[in-house]
Amino acid sequence: MLEIRKLRAGYGAINVLWDVDLSFAEKQLTTIVGPNGAGKSTLLKTIMGLVPPSQGEITLRGQSLAQYRTWDMAEQGVVLVPEGRLVFRDMSVEENLIMGAFPKQKRGAMTRNIERAYELFPRLKERRKQLAGSLSGGEAQMVAMARGMMAEPRVLLIDEPSLGLAPVIVQEIFNILRKLKNEGVTIVLVEQNTHMALSVAERVYMMRSGRVVMDKPAAEVDVTKLHDLYFALEG
């Protein structure tokens, strides 16, 4: 569904991604793991057009995404839930969700999608009028994910959803990821919690130093070898 071929990208004279090849299957959850500085977040930003590629191609169902600007990506069905729970702090939970219904063709379904968000995240319904800036970290992550779902994405990119959250909240977030996957949402998950990532994924890529160093079905991944690769103990 989403294909990346020979991708290079970076920041000015500093190249971060080196000839990256990735394939994300439709209606599956693919996870990308790896240490800090591996290029995982840069990869998601490049898909979204926030970082321009210097080489390579990104296609969605065979169509190049190079012609689209970042603010056009939601209309193409690609949505990013960024690292750091970037909510609109001075807006209510519900106003944050409304902001997610940005694509024109999705605005008519806004009320229905808000109710769907509250079904997935019951805690947000209780806090629908509360300012997002007053929420806990876990609640803010739920707002960010629910806001991303408001555009009814074909591909949902999620960057480090468990970062800094208590274990019980991490479990809740991953239960929601399972529900979304079961509903047929194509999910690309960047995550450093390898055990949780493997528990929900069909396929696993590991990145290190801007390169893909492992590509396997999740069911075939040996966690010990994965961690050896993670810490560069194995080539």
Per-residue pLDDT tens for 33-67?
A: 998 899 999 999 999 999 999 999 999 999 999 88
Same domain, 20 and 71: yes
Domain end point (choices 150, 182, 197): 150
If we measure between CA atoms, which residue out of 116, 136, 124, 73 comes closest to residue 95?
Answer: 124
For residues 59 and 161, membership in a common domain is answered with yes
Residue 235 located in a structural domain: no
Which is nearest to 191 in space by CA: 32, 28, 16, 37? 32
- Together in a domain, 211 and 159: yes
- In a shared domain, residues 15 and 126: no
Give the residue numbers spanning the domain of 118.
Answer: 88-150
What interhelical angle do 93-100 and 137-149 show, nearest 10? 30
Number of structural domains found in the chain: 2
Count the alpha carbons within 13 Å of 127 in the hemisphere toward its beta carbon: 21
Same domain, 162 and 69: yes
Cα(51)–Cα(123) distance, integer angstroms: 34
Q: Give yes or no: residues 157 and 146 share one domain.
A: no
Q: pLDDT class for 223, splitting at 50, 70, 90?
A: confident
Q: What is d(CA 198, CA 24) in angstroms, rounded to the nearest whole number? A: 15
Say yes or no: 120 and 143 in one domain. Answer: yes
Residue 190 phi/psi, 5-degree rounding, is -95, 125
pTM of the model: 0.91
**Which pair of structure tokens corresponds to residue 102?**
């940005």
Q: Please report the pLDDT score of residue 114 as a whole number.
A: 95
Residue 195 lies in a domain: yes
The Cα–Cα gap between 231 and 235 comes to 10
How, if at all, do strands 29-33 and 186-190 pair? parallel
Give me the chain's average pLDDT, please.
92
**Angstrom distances, CA of residue 74 to CA of 80, 105, 155:** 9, 10, 9
For residue 186 the two structure tokens come to 């194509």
If asked whether residues 50 and 143 sit together in one domain, one would say: no
Is 82 domain-assigned? no
Residue 144 neighbours by CB under 8 Å, 6+ apart: 81, 82, 85, 86, 87
Task: Report the CATH number that the domain containing residue 24 is assigned in CATH.
Answer: 3.40.50.300
Q: Does some domain include residue 102?
A: yes
Scored b (16 or more CB within 10 A) or e, 150-189 reads bbbbbbbbbbbbbbebeeebbebbbebbeebbeeebbbbb
Q: Where among 150, 179, 204 does a domain terminate?
A: 150
Q: Are residues 141 and 101 in the same domain?
A: yes
Residues 68 and 10 in one domain: yes
Q: Which of 108, 134, 150 is the last residue of a domain?
A: 150
Q: Reply yes or no on whether the pLDDT at 229 is more than 90.
A: no
On whether residue 162 sits in a domain, the answer given is yes
pLDDT bin (cut points 50, 70, 90) of residue 234 is low
Do 139 and 180 belong together in one domain?
A: no
pLDDT tens per residue across span 142-158: 999 999 999 889 999 99
Co-location of 93 and 204 in the same domain: no
